[in-house]
Amino acid sequence: MEKEKVLITGAAGFLGSHLCDKFINEGFQVIGMDNFITGDQKNIQHLLVNPNFQFIEHDVTEFIKIDGRLDYILHFASPASPIDYLKIPIQTLKVGSLGTHNLLGLAKAKKARILIASTSEVYGDPLVHPQSEDYYGNVNTIGPRGVYDEAKRFQESITMAYHRFHGLETRIVRIFNTYGPRMRLNDGRVIPAFMGQALRGEDLTIFGDGLQTRSFCYVTDQVDGIYKLLFSNYSNPVNIGNPHEITIKDFAEEIIKLTGTDQKVTYKDLPKDDPLQRQPDISLAKKLLGWEPKVEREEGMLKTFNYFKNLTEDELYKSEHKDFTKHIKK
C-alpha cells in the first residue's frame, strides 16, 4: 500500500523540522520545502538519507509544482521571531499572503487537506485574558510587528475563504510560545536569548519591567497538538499552547538557577507593541482533540538547555543578526 504523502513548508525551521520527524515516524512520505531564509539545513540533515523524505529548496511565494499525489499540506514557512520579521518585513508579508495563496491553490488542485500555521500574535497585545479563539484581537496594523501579525491574520482569512468558497479541507492552528531543541540561539526570542546570555557569561536582558507574562509549550506537545488537529474535523482556528503563565522576571530567575550561573538581570525599554500578556485558553483543544500539554517546564527547559550547551563556540558567539540578503530576490 502506498504511503500517504505530506508537504511541509518551512521544513528546515524549528517547528517544521520536528513536524517532518513526526510524520516520518507515523509512516508518511514527507516532502520538505524551505528556502533557508531563516531555516537551517542542519535541522533536517538527519532526514536527507531517509527514503521517506524528499527535500525541495524553494520559495513558496513563487509557483509551486509537486508531481504525483499529495494528501496533506502543512504551511509553516514564515519568519517567526521579531529579529527576523523586523529585518525582512516584505518577505514576511509575502510568505503569509502570496505563499499561502500558492499553497491553497496547490491543495485545491491536489484535493489535499491543508493546515495553516497561525499564531497567538493574531491577538496582538490582548485586552482579554486568557485568549480564546473567539477573541478578535488588539493589533496595531501599522506598527513594526504588524507585518507578522497582519500576514497571519490575512492567512487565516484567505484560508477560510478557500474553505467556504471552494469546499477545501482546511485546518488553522494558533501557535503560542513554543520552545525546544533546534531553536536558533540568536533568534531574539526570550528562551534562546536568556540561555545564550547565560552560556556566554553575560547578564540576562529583560525588556520592560519583567512583569509581562508568557506561557511556554515544549515542542513535542506542540507537534502532538498540530498532528491531532490535522486529523480532526474542525476547520476554525484552534489554540495550541501551554496555559501555565509566568512573568519574564520569574522566568529569568529560573534560567539562572537552571544554568548554575550567577548572572545579574539588566533592564531595557520594552519594544513597541510587545504584548504584556500571553496565555492561551485551550478549552477547545481539550474538548475537540483530547489534547493538553504533558511536558513540565522544568523538564523541557533542561532538554533545551542541554541542546544549546552542546553548540559549538562559533554558534554560541555568532552575530544576533543573520544575513538574509543572499536569499532575497531583488
Non-local CB neighbours of 49 within 8 Å, separated by 6+ positions: none
Residue 230: half-sphere exposure toward Cβ, Cα within 13 Å:
23
Residue 20 parent element (H or E): helix 14-25
CA 12 to chain centre: 12
Q: Are 6 and 34 in contact (CB under 8 A)?
A: no
Neighbours of 265 (CB within 10 A): 17
- Cα–Cα distance, 306 to 186 (Å, whole number): 16
Q: Which of 85, 104, 95, 90 is nearest to 35 (CA)?
A: 95
Does residue 148 have an active-site annotation? yes
Q: Which amino acid appears at position 309 of this protein?
A: K
Q: How far apart are CA 300 and CA 179, in angstroms?
A: 8
Per annotation, catalytic residue among 85, 123, 148, 179:
148
H-only helix segments in 167-238: 190-199, 219-230
Nearest partner of 267 among 216, 316, 209, 222, judged by Cα: 209
Strand partners, 245: 215
Integer CA distances (angstroms), 197 to 7, 85, 273, 293, 302, in order:
36, 22, 24, 28, 16
- Burial pattern 79-97, b for ≥16 Cβ within 10 A else e, equals bbbbbbbbbbbebbbbbbb
Query: Which amino acid is present at 191?
Result: I
Catalytic residues: 148
